[in-house]
Amino acid sequence: MKIYDSTYSTIEPPKIDVTATKVFLATNIQEVEREVEDTIEHCYQYTLTEYDKDEYFALLSQNQQDIEALQEELQAAKILLGVE
């Protein structure tokens, strides 16, 4: 994983961009104005995170497992509290 802070673009970036080998996530997208060569330019500033495709899929899999474990814990807590 590589993180590129303060990335700029003149067009709004997609939140997720998948290529043949990489996955790019754009977060914290903000419209800003900045000075470039004595002119004010309207652009987007964001954090870009780059993953290898396999790394990203492993992260998604781990997140899904974490969610399932939390759901099981919540169900057990509801039973103990008599809410369900």
The CA-based angle 24-30-34, given to 5 degrees, is 110
Closest C-alpha among 61, 60, 9, 13 to residue 36:
9
Checking if the pLDDT of 3 tops 90, the result is yes
Question: What would the pLDDT profile of 11-68 be if each residue is shown by its tens digit?
Answer: 999 999 999 999 999 999 999 998 888 889 999 999 999 999 999 999 999 999 999 9
Contact 24, 50 (CB under 8 A): yes
Which domain does 29 fall in, by range?
Answer: 2-81
The number of distinct structural domains making up the chain is 1
